Amino acid sequence: MLLNQFLLLAAVLFAIGVYGVLTRKNGVLVLMSIELILNSVNINLVAFGTFNADVSGQVFALFIIAVAAAEVGVGLAIVLLIYRNRRSIDVSEADMLKG
């Protein structure tokens, strides 16, 4: 059973996703990077599930797909709200509140 390839692919996707979240300034691109991380998780889960001959990994992946769609729906709605009020979706410009 080839498990390593899938895990490596997932690890690479995860790393690219984290890199994107940390460096991108555009709200939509940050969301896309998070999507990459979630997909790397799905690859992990399905690979492990098949490796262990256990179906719960695939079930978990299904739930992640559905929840990710909800997250992106809400995320895009908020990004669009900001675009309407501000005409920009640059995350680094959202700085009225100083942590």
Per-residue x/- marks for another protein, 19-48, CB under 8 A? --x-----x--xx--x--xx-xx--xx-xx
Q: CA triplet 87, 38, 51: central angle to 5 degrees?
A: 170
Distance between CA 65 and CA 72 in Å, rounded? 11
Angle of helix 27-51 relative to helix 56-86, nearest 10 degrees, comes to: 180
Q: Which of 16, 28, 29, 72 binds another protein (CB under 8 A)?
A: 72
Binding-site ranges for another protein (CB under 8 A): 4-5, 10, 14, 17, 21, 27, 30-31, 34, 37-38, 40-41, 44-45, 47-57, 59-60, 62-67, 69-82, 84-86, 91, 94, 96-99
